[in-house]
Chain A
Amino acid sequence: MQPSTASDPTLRSHASHLGTEGFQEHARQALQDAPLQQALQLLVTNFVPRRVAAMAALGNAEVLRTEARDIKERTMARLDEYLELFAMQAQRVGVQVHWAQDAAEARQIITGIAQDIGARVIVKGKSMATEEIHLNPHLEQHGYEVIETDLGEYIIQLAGETPSHIIAPAIHKTRQQIATLLHEQLGTPYTEVIPEMTQVARRALREQFLRADMGLTGANFAIAETGSLVLVTNEGNGRLSSTMPRVHVALMGMEKVIPRLADLAVMLKVLTNSATGQKISSYVTMLTGPRRAHDLDGPEALHVVIMDNGRSAILRSANREALYCLRCGACLNVCPIYQNIGGHAYGWVYPGPIGAVLTPMFTGLDTAQHLPRASTLCGACREACPVKINIPHLLLNLRQQLVERHDVPWVERALFTIWACIMQHPRLYKSAVALAALAQKPFVHHGWLSKLPAPFSGWTQSRDFKAVAARSFRQRWQETLQHERPAAPGVASPEVTSHE
């Protein structure tokens, strides 16, 4: 195992501290973490081309993305009514529906159910919603044994860490690290052969599925028309968690509802193709109520906990479309920032571009103000998103909020005030450019400014700036007009229309 600071489990387990300094520190460590960089490289070379090929093979990916977005738009516009319909239909088939305003309430409801049914062992299918409310430590505090059963989640639970990717939670760990972990934690013989490691986990977890009293999962979709829950997995952890224990509890964010059964076909297609490049996942399970009287297996009770936890505030805001997110992880894989620093540096459960939008909205702009800024706004995330969330736009909205709250350094504010003034006055602009061309002279090297004095030093610390050209575009334009094509009468002069 290679020693590295950022792989230190104690650091990782505390990755949920936010703040600009924490982010910068984590990012710096991540960049020097060789195994992590190797893993991130794997993501880029695997997930990205697979998704691109899968979407291309669909032939009508654009139509599907538009349809999926349309379904989400319709749902959010009348979310209260769809939630009400879902609850009514679910109750008709015996589902017990609970409403949680915030994380504390969701934890309380779930712990309450566990207590009521006298549970001791809880198996969990993969769920980001339960990560969001930090459910495991809470349940453990109350004396329950909680076992993650998604292989990736199980690995990081054994390591005492947190997920670093929405759908590949243990992507930051090498096979050697995992081999050591399984050997030490389970006492099984050391093996680096992945299928053997997988079988070790299968045997250990099968035992847990058979002894568990309660299964805890998230939900990928909740169908209002039928009151059904849909779980999407490849391993079967969702199926086993919702089949073997006598009680199944599903925690879902309130935005997971979709109107009609027919909508599932479109939503599922964009989800799995975007997440893993699969036409469909190995297992898609649609649950409509607990087991019926004549069913020979399945849980005797099914509870659904519908959670707000800050989502209604997002619904109210200009960033409503952040709620369209299906948690497919496609935006992570294509993001130049995520590709370099991985998931933990983001400091909260949702990493990557969508995490940079959701984290400040869930945890407060104060603690996470660095995240909207940690983006190049290149737009790769928007292109990859199965429901066309305009993530760069949402990040700009958040940046705007920061500016409006004067949460920017005075130097930056002063500079932009001056800039705005110059941009609004053509004459002033002309003189400013001329002045800049003169003032830059001592700093220009081969047409680039690579080291500027304060207050510009921050910019040139990590990137170069193209030097102001000797002759401005306006000058050259004027010359061209004079020499080649004298302006025809009646044509507006570029002096008036140009927005250089």
Chain B
Amino acid sequence: MNGQRRLALPLQRSHPMSSQEAFLARVRRALHKEPLPPAARPPLLWSDQDTAAATANLQTLVATQRPALVAQLQQELGAVGGVVAHVHSAAEAVGYVTRLAQEKDATLVVRWQSDLLDTLEVDAALHQQGVAVHATTLPAEALPGETASAVAMATRRQELRDVLARADLGLSGVDYVIAETGTLVLTAQAGQMRGVSLLPPVHVAVARTSQVIATLANYLLLVQPAGADLQPALSSCVSFVTGPSRTGDIELKLTVGVHGPGELHLVLLDEPTPE
């Protein structure tokens, strides 16, 4: 607390805060609800499909439809100003990223730590061009599967925040890509910062075609283990990203790059996944 804060007007807590009970009781009164015994109440989370069967169906369906879905994805993401590069080898994927970095005069790239990006060895290629690469890794002292100390995490967070504010290009993977709307699904995980796809002026995501699914409804089904409590399966932040940041707030004229990246590239790697 500094001096300025103490000058603020005192808060008037004249009446006690309404509790959850009082709030919900008022809602209940407004509903004129018949009080039912818990056993007689219909389930709050009703089920209109056999989730397990639907999920199984989904896997086979998506596999057979993949070429059509990839075409749809290119069409949809292209329509909202995203750029899709359909490549057939790791070398092509890396080539696309390094060319783009050169085109943008990038000096600093910030990237997710992910298996795909590690496999591609994109760092080495960028270094060769004199581009610095900073991966959003956990503090060095943390062992795999172990949580770093709070102090180490705090230091690392601050460090990465500064990197993000300066980075010219953010490079990430994706969890899924949704064909219906051309949407990238990015989840916050250890090593996968939210800011990589948000702060730099250019965002490049790399995905395998095996990560393409049909619809948002499919995604919601995939994260929902049948019959299980699904909350633990959800990351603290799931971002659905569809095209560059855009606004129409001045005379309804579409303009990109207002807060998030003004450019969004999806490098779609079409090669057999190593079994």
Q: Does chain B have a CB within 8 A of A386?
A: no
- Which partner residue on chain A sits nearest B255 by CB separation? A198
The residue from A143, A243, A285 contacting B8, defined by CB atoms under 8 A apart:
A143
Q: Does chain A have a CB within 8 A of B98?
A: no
Chain B nearest CB, measured from A332 CB (Å) = 13
Chain B nearest CB, measured from A336 CB (Å) = 20
Q: Does chain B have a CB within 8 A of A306?
A: yes
Interface flags, A110-149, vs B, CB<8A=1, else 0? 0110010010100000000000000000000111100001
Q: Does chain A have a CB within 8 A of B251?
A: yes
Give the docked Cα–Cα distance between A378 and B251 (Å).
28
Chain A nearest CB, measured from B186 CB (Å) = 10
B58-66, B118-126, B169-177, B240-248 - the one binding chain A? B240-248
Assuming the contacts A108-B12, A298-B194, asked whether A151 and B76 have C-beta atoms less than 8 A apart, the reply is no
The answer to whether A42 touches B252 (Cβ under 8 A) is: yes
The residue from A74, A143, A284 contacting B240, defined by CB atoms under 8 A apart:
A284
The answer to whether B239 touches A283 (Cβ under 8 A) is: yes
The answer to whether A296 touches B136 (Cβ under 8 A) is: yes
Give the docked Cα–Cα distance between A227 and B31 (Å).
23
The answer to whether A297 touches B24 (Cβ under 8 A) is: no
The answer to whether A265 touches B44 (Cβ under 8 A) is: no
Q: Does chain A have a CB within 8 A of B68?
A: no
The answer to whether A198 touches B247 (Cβ under 8 A) is: yes
Residues of chain B at interface, number, CB under 8 A: 89
Give the docked Cα–Cα distance between A120 and B1 (Å).
10
The answer to whether B27 touches A99 (Cβ under 8 A) is: no
Q: Chain A residues with Cβ under 8 A from B257's Cβ?
A: 195, 198-199, 202
Q: Does chain B have a CB within 8 A of A347?
A: no
The answer to whether A297 touches B190 (Cβ under 8 A) is: no
Q: Chain A residues with Cβ under 8 A from B91's Cβ?
A: none
Give the docked Cα–Cα distance between A254 and B20 (Å).
12
The residue from B161, B230, B256 contacting A225, defined by CB atoms under 8 A apart:
B230
Q: Does chain A have a CB within 8 A of B52?
A: no
Q: Does chain B have a CB within 8 A of A33?
A: no
The residue from B7, B153, B165, B245 contacting A283, defined by CB atoms under 8 A apart:
B245
Q: Which of A37-64 contact B (CB under 8 A)?
A: 39, 42-43, 46-47
The answer to whether B191 touches A296 (Cβ under 8 A) is: yes
Q: Which of B137-164 contact A (CB under 8 A)?
A: 138, 147-148, 153, 156-157, 160-161, 164
Chain A nearest CB, measured from B190 CB (Å) = 4
Q: Chain A residues with Cβ under 8 A from B258's Cβ?
A: 151, 198, 201-202, 235-236
Interface flags, B203-238, vs A, CB<8A=1, else 0? 000000000000111001101100000110011111
Residues of chain A at interface, number, CB under 8 A: 110
The answer to whether B244 touches A282 (Cβ under 8 A) is: yes
Give the docked Cα–Cα distance between A490 and B44 (Å).
57
Interface centre among B5, B13, B19 (most CB of A within 10 A): B5
The answer to whether B251 touches A142 (Cβ under 8 A) is: no
A22-30, A79-87, A410-418 - the one binding chain B? A79-87
- Which partner residue on chain B sits nearest A192 by CB separation? B250
Q: Chain A residues with Cβ under 8 A from B250's Cβ?
A: 151, 155, 170, 175, 178, 194, 197-198
Q: Chain B residues with Cβ under 8 A from A168's Cβ?
A: 248-249, 252
Q: Does chain A have a CB within 8 A of B71?
A: no
Q: Does chain A have a CB within 8 A of B30?
A: yes
Give the docked Cα–Cα distance between A84 and B23 (Å).
10
Interface centre among A100, A112, A150, A286 (most CB of B within 10 A): A286
Contact sample, A vs B, 21 pairs, CB 8 Å cutoff: A42-B252, A47-B252, A118-B2, A151-B247, A151-B249, A170-B250, A224-B44, A226-B230, A227-B231, A242-B237, A259-B46, A265-B217, A265-B220, A268-B216, A280-B240, A283-B240, A286-B238, A293-B153, A294-B147, A312-B27, A312-B30
Q: Beyond the given A99-B20, A112-B11, A286-B239, please list 17 additional residue pairs across the A-B interface where CB-CB is below 8 A.
A: A42-B251, A74-B46, A79-B27, A85-B44, A101-B18, A105-B17, A168-B248, A178-B250, A226-B234, A236-B245, A243-B194, A262-B220, A280-B181, A282-B241, A285-B238, A296-B190, A296-B191
